[in-house]
Structure 1
Amino acid sequence: MPADPVETVLFDLDDTLCEYRRSPGDLIEIACEAVGVEPFFGQAEYEARYGEFTDESDDVRDLRERCFAAIAADRGRDPDLGRDIARAFAAERDHTNVRPLPGAREAVETLAERHRVGVVTNGAPGMQRRKLSALPFADRFETVVHAGYDAPAKPAPDPFHEALAALDGRPERAVHVGNSLSSDVAGAHNAGCRSVWLRQPGGPGDHRPHFTVDGMAELAAPPWE
């Protein structure tokens, strides 16, 4: 039996539609220099520890301070040094200093001509709004759901359902595009939507997307059609 036609397309934001021009690793080095120490950790450790502090943090700045303090303590450093590095990191981070991923503009503008489109993103609303505002196709999105704030974070189904409700969409006629298997692909499936995975290094593991693309430009000719 053929699948229902797709009427609604939802997108993740970070590393799907856009990326920072300066990586977290770059900013950690800059922040360490600003407080007068040699870098003693990098992006990989930050990202590996990030999730430990999400439930207890008030916002991304608080989360980063907790994370960097814990890393410093584990390295035999004063936790306050970690907090100082986190504050220097925040001072350097410009959330409008993002660039679209190759092909993202073409994909969104093409799909928006025949579909209703929205964004479902994990992240603080103020931070994510600034990123989105810097993209030249931001006005194409009819709704933006800040998962973790407007609704539970992905991969919970709630933020997808909230976006679909705003777009008069139905899960069986929707796809979600994202780079994360654990939040985007799993979340889409939890919500009853089809998934499009923007391929990352490594295989899909337990989360098998309905469609896989190697770049956003491929969505200008949707794989579900």
Structure 2
Amino acid sequence: MQLDAVLFDIDDTLCRYRRSGADVLDAAFERTGHDPFITLSEYHDRYPEFVDDSDSMADLRERCFAAIAETKGRDPETGRTVARAYAAERDHANVEPLPGVEEALSAVEGLPVGVVTNGAPEMQSQKLAGIGLDDAFDTVVYAGYDAPAKPHPEPFETALSELSASPDRTLHVGNSLQSDIAGARAAGLGSVWVPDSDEPADPEPDYTLSTLSEFPSLLSERTATDL
């Protein structure tokens, strides 16, 4: 079966920060002089609560840090101060491509190719530019801004519409089971998981790859077996 299109996630699928979030958070607390009362896992856990209602990444982070501060009996403004320091430390263009990106994109040359990513346009566009892929995609859907955040099916449906693609003839490639695999399944797309952890595969993806360098072989096998 020929594919109509292929979609990719950005964070920890196409690229990753050269400087870890934990390092940036430590620097933010050092910059503000506050003791480190927020952990990176707390930030990531609360992040989805604010995606759909925030105006920008800076606004989202300030809301998130303020909420964590309030939960811990701190002044929410202290959380906002730390969030602003975090923003000052984070360079969204300071990213590196993950193994196999070049091979994966070469394998889909000639097909409509898009991105469906959770994150603000001003942040995610810098990452694509940082790895030289700012002009590589036919559409980029910023979920949480152009549409509800993944795993809601709408951002995938938006990309399908813009690429004139059918869901059952489209693959989405991502690292997150909760956002990418669950979202792709909800929208009726084939799902390709490139895990960055040892977590159990739930929900179960259609395909699992060790790295994106295996993606060309997957495409060949999929076509050969008429899946």
Greater mean deviation of Cα atoms: 39-48 or 18-27:
39-48
Output one character per residue of 1:87-123: Cα deviation in whole Å (capped at 9) or x when no partner. 11011111111111111122112222x4221111111
Which residue number corresponds to residue 186 of structure 1?
Answer: 182
Aligned to 1:221, what secondary structure does the other structure show?
helix
- Contact 1:105–1:136 (CA<8 Å) still a contact in 2? no
Residue 79 (str. 1) matches residue 76 (str. 2): yes
Identify the range of structure 1 (80-89 vs 50-59) with the bigger mean alpha-carbon deviation. 50-59
CA displacement, residues 9-55 of structure 1 (integer Å, 9 cap, x when unaligned): 11011111111111221111001111123323321121122223334
Q: Pick one of 46, 58, 62 that aligns with 2:59.
A: 62
Corresponding position of 1:137: 133
Q: Which amino acid aligns with 2:123?
A: M
Please state how far the C-alpha of 1:143 moved relative to its aligned partner.
Answer: 1.2
Q: Would you say the 8 A contact 1:8–1:173 is kept in 2?
A: yes
Unaligned runs of 5+ in 2: none
The alpha carbon displacement at 1:217 in A equals 1.0
| 1:120 matched residue in structure 2 | 116
The TM-score, its normalising length taken from structure 2, stands at 0.88
Aligned counterparts of 1:137 and 1:210: Cα–Cα separation in 2 = 26
- 1:21 matched to 2:18: yes
The partner residue of 1:216 within 212, 218, 226 is 212
Alpha-carbon spacing, 1:76–1:168, altered in 2? closer, same or farther (3 Å)? closer
In structure 2, distance between residues paired with 1:146 and 1:133: 15
Are the structure 2 counterparts of residues 138 and 110 from structure 1 closer, same or farther at C-alpha, using a change threshold of 3 Å? farther
**2:137 corresponds to which letter in structure 1?**
F
Aligned length: 220
- How far 1:56 sits from its partner (Å)? 4.1
Cα distance in 2 between the residues matched to 1:70 and 1:25: 19
Aligned to 2:87: 90
Cα distance in 2 for residues equivalent to 1:52 and 1:142: 29
Cα separation, 1, equivalents of 2:102 and 2:111: 15
1:201 aligned onto 2:198 = yes
Quote the residue 2:149 is aligned against.
153
2:32 aligns with one of 25, 32, 35: 35
Q: Cα deviations across residues 163-199 of structure 1 (Å, max 9, x unaligned)?
A: 1222222111110001111221121112221110112
Q: In structure 2, do the counterparts of structure 1 residues 208 and 88 end up closer, same or farther at CA, with 3 Å as the change threshold?
A: same
- 1:123/1:134 Cα in 2 relative to 1: closer, same or farther (>3 Å)? same
Q: SS state of the match for residue 59, structure 2?
A: helix
Runs of 4+ in 1 over 4 A off after TM superposition: none
Superposition RMSD in Å: 1.8
1:8 aligns with 2:5: yes
- Indicate if the aligned counterparts of 1:164 and 1:171 stay in contact, CA closer than 8 A: yes
